[in-house]
Structure 1
Amino acid sequence: MRLRSRVQPFMIIVCAVIWTLLWGQLSIFNLVAGALLGLLIGLVFPMPPIIGSATVHPIGLLRLIAALLVDLVRSSIGVARVVLRRGRRPRNAILGVQLRTRNELYLTQTAELISLTPGSLVVEARPTNCTIYVHMLDVSSAEERAAARTMVHTAEARVIRAFGTRAEIAALRSGDPMPGVDR
C-alpha cells in the first residue's frame, strides 16, 4: 500500500482522543503522543479502504436503531418464555440464509444485528457467497424456519436502508436484484 493510503486522519484523531482519555489529562503532550501512536498504527497495520459504503441515511439509521430496540425487548421476552416453560425442550435449528447483496460490510452489519438479538447467533458467515448460518432458539416447524429467514432478510434490508447506495435502496424497494449481483 502506498504511504498516502496508510495515513488515515480519522484514525489518528480517534487514537489521540482515546490516548488522552486513557491518561485522564488533557494536555498537548497527550494529544501529540496519541496522534503519533495513531500514525504509527496506520503505518504498521494499514487497514484496507471500505469501498462504496460511506453513505449514512439518518432516517434509515434511526429506523434501524428503533427496530433493534424493539427486537431486543421482543426476543428477550421470547427467550424468557422458553427458559421458564416446563415440559417441552426447545428444538433449535441452524439455518443458512443467503443475503440479497454481496457487500461484505452489509454482511458483517447484518450478522452483528442478528447476534445482538437474544435467541439468535450467527455461527458462520461466508463472504464468498454472502451466506450466514444462524443458530435459532426454539425453531421446530417449517413456518418458524421461514419466519427466521424472513427476520434475517428484514435485518439486512434495515442495514441497506441505513447505509446503502441509492441504487441498492431502489432495488430493495422494487424487489430487483441488487447492483452487482447475478441471480
Structure 2
Amino acid sequence: MSEREPNTDPANPALPPRRSGLQWRTILALAIVWMVLWGDLSIFAALMGLLVGLIITLAFPMPPVRFAGRFRPFRVAWLLVRLLGSLTVASIDVIRAILRPGPPLHSGIIRVPLRVDDDLYEALVSELASLVPGSLVIEARRSNRTLYLHVLEATSADDLAQARLQVRRAEDAVLAAFGSREEQAAIRQSPGDEEEAP
C-alpha cells in the first residue's frame, strides 16, 4: 500500500496534511483547463488562467497525491475497452428498466468498502463507478475508503450484490492498470467484504 504522509490534523488522524506554498504544476494544469474552457489561446487568457489557478490553489490547498504504482499501457487500454463495454450494456439495461411496464423502479443505496488505500485509486474507482449508467457515487469517505452508491435498480439482494461486484471489478481493473506488484499482492490477500448495506 502507498505510504501516507505524517498527519498534522488532530481532528482527523487518518488524513494527511494539506499542502502549503505554491503548487506550480497544479496552477499550470488549471490554466490550461481555463484556456480550453474559454476557447482562447491568447496571452491574456493564459495570464488569467494562471491567476485563477493561483487563487484556487491558495484558497483550497489539497493534500499531495502520491503515485507509487506503474503505468501499464495495455492494461489501461483494456480498462478503457471494459469501460466502453460496461457503458453500452448498462445503458441498454437502464433503457429497458425505464421502458418496462409494471411497478416503478426501486432504487437503493449500497455501501462498498474499498480494498485500495490510496487517494488516486479511490478517485479512479469512484469515477468508473459513476460513469456507468444506473449507479452514482453519492459519497466517498477518504478516512475509511468507503464508497456509497445510489443504484437505480435494487429490487433484490442479487441486484445489490451485482452492483457491489461491479465496483469490485472496477477496483481490480484500476489496480491491474496502475498498481504496483506489492499493491496487487496486498489486494489479493485482503478478504472481500460481502456485508449487505442498508
Shorter chain as normaliser: what TM range?
Answer: 0.7 to 0.9
In 1, the alpha carbon distance for the partners of 2:186 and 2:99 equals 43
Match of 1:99 in 2: 114
Equivalent residue for 2:168, pick from 140, 150, 153: 153
Contact 2:27 2:50 survives alignment (8 Å): yes
2:66 paired with 1:51: yes
2:15 maps to which residue?
A: none
Distance 1:82 1:26, change over 3 A: same
Alignment of 1:114-125 (within 5 A): 114-125=129-140
Superimposed CA distance per residue, residues 135-171 of structure 1 (whole angstroms, 9 cap, x where no aligned partner): 2122222222222211110011112222222211233
Following the alignment from structure 2 to structure 1, what is the Cα–Cα distance between the partners of residues 136 and 128? 9
How far residue 104 of structure 1 moved from its aligned partner, in angstroms, is 3.0
Give % identity.
Answer: 40
Against the structure 1 CA distance between its residues 38 and 99, is the aligned structure 2 distance closer, same or farther, given a 3 Å change threshold? closer
Question: Residues 65 and 119 of structure 2 are in contact (CA less than 8 Å); yes or no, is this contact kept in structure 1?
Answer: no
Say if 2:51 is the partner of 1:65. no
Query: TM-score, structure 1 length as denominator?
Result: 0.76
1:80 matched to 2:88? The reply is no
Structure with the larger helix share: 1
Q: 1:60-102: CA deviations, max 9, x gaps?
A: 2212211111111110000000111001322222111111122
Unpaired runs of 5+ in structure 2?
A: 1-18, 192-198
Q: Which amino acid aligns with 2:113?
A: Q
Superposed CA offset, 1:5-32 (max 9, x none): 63334234334544555473445x6656
Give the letter aligned to residue 148 of structure 1: A
When structure 1 is superposed on structure 2, of 37-46 and 54-63 the one drifting more is 37-46
RMSD after superposition: 2.9
Aligned position for 2:189: 176
Task: Sort the Cα spacing of 1:152 and 1:36 in 2 relative to 1 into closer, same or farther, 3 A.
Answer: closer
When Rg is computed on C-alpha atoms for both structures, the one with the higher figure is: 1
Mapped to 1, the partners of 2:99 and 2:39 lie a distance apart of 46
CA deviation after TM superposition for structure 1 residue 41, in Å: 5.1
- Gap change, CA 1:25 and 1:142, over 3 Å in 2: closer
Q: What is the alpha-carbon distance in structure 2 between the residues aligned to residue 96 and residue 30 of structure 1?
A: 43
Task: Give the partner amino acid of 1:24.
Answer: D
Aligned residues: 172
Equivalent residue runs for 1:16-27 within 5 Å: 16-18=31-33, 22=38, 24-27=40-43
- Specify the alignment match of 1:112 in structure 2: 127
Partner of 2:16: none
1:181 alignment counterpart: none
The 8 Å contact of residues 53 and 165 in structure 1, kept in 2 or not, is answered as yes
CA contact (8 A) 1:6 1:47 kept: no
